[in-house]
Amino acid sequence: MAYSGFQPISFEKPTPEDVELSDKLIEKVRLIGGFDSEETKKSKKAVLQKLDQLAKKFVKKTSSATSSTKQVTGECNIKILTSGLHGLGVPTNQLDIDVLFVGSRPVSRKRFFSIFYSMLRGKEGVKDTNAAPDAFVPVIRATVDNVEVDIVFADFPSKDTIPDTLQLRDDNLLKWLDKESVRIYLNPHYLRVHVCSLACERRRIYSNCLGFLGGMSYAILVAKICQLYPHALPSVLIKVFFRVFSEWNWSWRCPVLLTPSTENSNLAWDPNCNSNDKAHVMPIVYPAHPHINSTFNVTRSSLQIMKKAGSCFHLL
C-alpha cells in the first residue's frame, strides 16, 4: 500500500460508537499515567526557567568576553524554545524535554559547546552531562533536576539580535542557517500523536537512536493519516494508522510526504539527484525546508520489527 496524493480519501464523519470508543481510549491513557501530572508539568516548567536563567548568564559572559555592547543595551541575543513532542504540546508523562537555543552574534555554536557547556556542568542539580558537537545534529544532553534534556543550538548569523517574538514558522528564515541549524529546526492533533507514540513506546519500537522512529517521525505519520482521514477520531485513527503503515510499500520510491517538494537544495531528500537517498528504507520526509528524511537511521531489520508490531496492533 502507498498513497502519494495529498487530498483526503475519506470524509466519513464519526459515529456514536467512534465517539464512545475514543472517550474510553482517552480514559485508558489517563489511567495508565499517559498524560502529564501536575507534578510533572511543574518539574518541566522549573527546568526551563533554570535553563533560561543560565542562558542569560551565558549571553552576558560571552558579551563581556567579546566586548559586545548588546548586553549593556538590553538587546536579546538568545531565545529558548521547546521542540519535539513537548514543543508540539503533546501532554506526555515523560520527564524529558527537547530544548532549542536560538542565538545571534556574539553567541555562537562554538561558544555554546565550550562556555555554556562548562556553565551547565557546574550548575547545582545537573548530572550526566554529555556534549556531541560533531554529531549529525550537535547536541548537549544532561539531566537537570531529574528531568532529561537535549539542548541544541541554532545559529542565526544574519541577525544582530533575537527578538522575544521570534517564531520559526517562516521557511525564509531557515535559508540563512547553516546545515546543522537547519537539521535542528526540523525537529497534527496532539492527542492523536500521543496515543500512537505511547502505543509504539510500549512495544519498544520508539527510539531514533536504536533504528526505530522518533517522536517527530511519528508526528509526521499521524499528520499523514489526519490528512487522509480529516474527521477520524483517535479510536479510528489508531487502527487506520497501524493498518496503513504496516502495509505501506516502504522504499525510496514510496516516501511519506505531507506536501509536494519542489525545492532545489543540496540538503533536500531527493533520490533522483542523490543516489545515497535510495538506500533509505523508510523515508518519512519533513514538510519544511529543506525536506530531509527524518528516518535515515532505520534499517531493514528494524523496519520489519515495526511492520510486525503494526500488524499486531491492527489485528487487535
Model confidence over 222-252: pLDDT tens digits? 888 888 888 888 888 888 888 888 888 899 9
How far apart CA 57 and CA 72 sit, in angstroms, is 13
Q: Indicate if 157 and 269 belong to the same structural domain.
A: no
Q: Indicate if 181 and 206 belong to the same structural domain.
A: no
- Each residue's pLDDT tens digit, 52-81: 899 889 888 887 766 554 444 445 577 787
CATH number at residue 196: 1.10.1410.10
Query: Looking at the predicted structure, is the pLDDT value of residue 41 above 70?
Result: yes
Has residue 301 been placed in a domain? Answer: yes
- The structural domain count of the chain equals 2
Highest mean pLDDT among 74-83, 131-140, 163-172: 131-140
Average predicted confidence (pLDDT) for the chain = 77
**Which residues are registered as beta bridge partners of 101?**
80, 153
Q: Indicate if 43 and 178 belong to the same structural domain.
A: yes
Q: Indicate if 141 and 209 belong to the same structural domain.
A: no
For residue 110 the three cell numbers come to 562554538
Domain that holds residue 307: 16-32+189-315
Three-class HEC string of 94-148? CCEEEEEEEECCCCCHHHHHHHHHHHHHCCCCEEEEEEECCCCCCEEEEEECCEE
- DSSP-derived letter for residue 293 is B
Q: Indicate if 266 and 196 belong to the same structural domain.
A: yes
Q: Indicate if 124 and 221 belong to the same structural domain.
A: no
Residue 91 is predicted with a pLDDT of 55
Predicted model pTM: 0.64
Nearest alpha-carbon partner for 267 in 168, 137, 167: 137
**Which residues are registered as beta bridge partners of 102?**
79, 154
Query: Looking at the predicted structure, is the pLDDT value of residue 221 above 70?
Result: yes
| Residues of the chain by 3-state class (helix, strand, coil), percent to 5 | 40, 15, 45
- pLDDT-derived band at 184 (thresholds 50, 70, 90) equals very low
Instruction: Pick 244 or 37 by higher pLDDT.
Output: 244
- DSSP-derived letter for residue 229 is S
SS3 79: strand
Q: Indicate if 139 and 204 belong to the same structural domain.
A: no
Q: Strands 96-103, 147-155: parallel, antiparallel or unpaired by DSSP?
A: parallel
Has residue 213 been placed in a domain? Answer: yes
- Each residue's pLDDT tens digit, 250-285: 999 999 998 887 666 677 888 888 888 999 999 999
Residue 207 is predicted with a pLDDT of 75
Residue 138 is predicted with a pLDDT of 86
Q: Indicate if 195 and 158 belong to the same structural domain.
A: no
Side-by-side strand order, sheet with 147-155: 78-83, 96-103, 147-155, 139-144, 126-132
| Sign of the CA dihedral running 46, 52, 56, 59 | positive
